[in-house]
Structure 1
């Protein structure tokens, strides 16, 4: 009886939420890119979740970055959690992986044992191992039913750390990897030799999508994007971001603020830099997400116009739950 109750609870939790399409349904065998979260940075903001994206088609789902709220957004997008095959983390800043614990926790609670591979930069194995260790007390307690057999939260979870030039071939598509310029550690330091921020190119049946993740201007990313059908890129409105920081960040010295402004300028993409990259790479369209600091009030037409000075193709300033 206890086992039946436990399985019933798991099945109820695993039921998919009805899809909420935002546009024309894709062909049955085509992949759709969904911008689950389009906010950049760790500050909560109404209307925009932290960075997360979904690559989905019938019976198959892949998460690209997992900011806080990614699992709820995935359900809102109509994706069935047991169909999750892979997770791709661009870099190990918290706004890009804060929701990974929820991904693993739902897997535990629904007793999902289908293989899940988590791809990301160096450091991901340590992070996932730590999250699994944090799950073990919950795994042992289970649903609180006498006679329940605990499940190992590490079951069928594989972590693959990637670096510049890596190529991952899956059944239906290929992913190519480039390191980008989101980090600029002291030359020769241990950090320079350890940490990476990655950009991904998804070569899908019929089209290609490049996801910059967080990066500043980068020739490697521009080369990775050559001829891609869609460039999904981060963006920073520097003035708006610094204004947000002044209002919300406490206990920051003038020196720290100067360093932060330097980081935001060098390690993120302005509208001009996006236009240059898109034009140089010859991409088909630009989708702007990860808007650092959030979009300024009424700023979206200006962003499109600024990018359009250099890139003459279509430009979309994405909102959460848009489909491409």
Structure 2
């Protein structure tokens, strides 16, 4: 494809930063990758998983890894504009920043209604965070006569499961369970816990966010015909090497369990290509990058090439605060 034609295709699919788009082609909603690191290990240059769906006067967080609020501010969103939060699953790297979100709400005495959507377990988690905020709420700013604000004020939590649909003012969200968990059949864990993928049906395009998942027919169906597939990715060899080098305090059995999880419950570049091609999506954005890329300047090109062996459309390896 000629360079000019490729530029136009990427622009049409939302793969160019907003600074490169003209006012005529700007989307009503912008998707921003606030944090693009996969996993809980700190890494310079990439925050933990978090995304933002925003337009003027309105913001929605999708996963809230550590640093999400700073990323939101750097993306140009105003905190009082936050209307909803969508948590894909309850691993700490995807919700470690939720306490900061709620704490800022308390400190700024914000009472605009906020709905937190997530899988089973979210009500218990949010209830615990609010309980942890009560001493700060009661002490306030240390001013005589100050009226304490209830940290639970105007916060609603909605737990979601497979095939759920949620109608917002400007868009609709469809939900599918994915394959990030594989508990023993019939176990309490299998009956209780879910990892979710979301399809955001906006006025002019559909964006599917996989969250964390392995290969999944359920997610492939959810993504059918989407304009943008925002997907996780793992560099398995590099991630396993890092785990063996840095996580030394756990047993060999625990390491084997972690290796099985990383292998079965995440998407390799080839698996991303297969999913994108089967779903017929118009473009792919890779985020939640686990392993690789930290010091390898050629990693992005390798990932794109591996995805491109299975999928013929545009592929972008996201950085923190990229706009789509």
Answer whether TM exceeds 0.5 for this pair.
yes
Q: Deviations over 1:187-232 (max 9, x none)?
A: 1110000000000000001000000000000000000000000000
Q: Match of 1:154, SS?
A: coil
Structure-to-structure mapping, 1:58-73, within 5 angstroms: 58-73=56-71
Going from structure 1 to structure 2, the CA distance change for 1:21 and 1:112 (only over 3 Å counts) comes to farther
Hey, what does 1:111 align to over in structure 2?
109
CA distance in 2, matches of 1:85, 1:197: 22
Q: TM-score normalized by structure 1?
A: 0.92
Structure-to-structure mapping, 1:242-253, within 5 angstroms: 242-253=240-251
State the Cα distance separating 1:250 from its structure 2 match. Answer: 2.5
CA distance in 2, matches of 1:302, 1:90: 28
User: How much is the aligned-residue C-alpha RMSD, in angstroms?
Assistant: 1.4
Hey, what does 2:90 align to over in structure 1?
92
Deviates more, 1:253-262 or 1:148-157: 253-262
8 Å contact from structure 2 (residues 292, 299) kept in 1: no
Hey, what does 2:5 align to over in structure 1?
none
State the Cα distance separating 1:247 from its structure 2 match. Answer: 2.2
State the Cα distance separating 1:35 from its structure 2 match. Answer: 0.2
CA distance in 1, matches of 2:204, 2:273: 25
Going from structure 1 to structure 2, the CA distance change for 1:152 and 1:97 (only over 3 Å counts) comes to same
State the Cα distance separating 1:145 from its structure 2 match. Answer: 1.0
State the Cα distance separating 1:28 from its structure 2 match. Answer: 7.2
Q: TM-score normalized by structure 2?
A: 0.92
State the Cα distance separating 1:253 from its structure 2 match. Answer: 2.1
Q: Does 1:165 align with 2:163?
A: yes
Q: Does 1:319 align with 2:316?
A: no
State the Cα distance separating 1:186 from its structure 2 match. Answer: 0.7
CA distance in 1, matches of 2:78, 2:266: 33
Q: Which runs of 5+ in 1 are unaligned?
A: 1-19
Structure-to-structure mapping, 1:151-230, within 5 angstroms: 151-230=149-228
Q: Does 1:24 align with 2:14?
A: no
The correspondence for 1:240, drawn from 214, 238, 241, is 238
8 Å contact from structure 1 (residues 40, 294) kept in 2: no
CA distance in 1, matches of 2:22, 2:43: 29
Hey, what does 1:53 align to over in structure 2?
51
State the Cα distance separating 1:252 from its structure 2 match. Answer: 2.0
Q: How many residues align?
A: 305
Going from structure 1 to structure 2, the CA distance change for 1:262 and 1:153 (only over 3 Å counts) comes to same
CA distance in 1, matches of 2:166, 2:28: 19
The correspondence for 2:285, drawn from 281, 284, 287, is 287
Going from structure 1 to structure 2, the CA distance change for 1:249 and 1:23 (only over 3 Å counts) comes to farther
8 Å contact from structure 1 (residues 108, 151) kept in 2: yes
State the Cα distance separating 1:167 from its structure 2 match. Answer: 0.4
CA distance in 1, matches of 2:49, 2:218: 22
Q: Match of 1:55, SS?
A: strand
8 Å contact from structure 1 (residues 28, 57) kept in 2: no
Hey, what does 2:299 align to over in structure 1?
299
CA distance in 2, matches of 1:124, 1:253: 30
Q: Deviations over 1:294-324 (max 9, x none)?
A: 5251211000000000100000000001000
8 Å contact from structure 1 (residues 35, 320) kept in 2: yes
CA distance in 1, matches of 2:259, 2:27: 44
Hey, what does 1:35 align to over in structure 2?
33
Hey, what does 1:126 align to over in structure 2?
124
8 Å contact from structure 1 (residues 39, 294) kept in 2: no
Q: Match of 2:306, SS?
A: helix
Q: Match of 1:288, SS?
A: strand
State the Cα distance separating 1:259 from its structure 2 match. Answer: 1.6
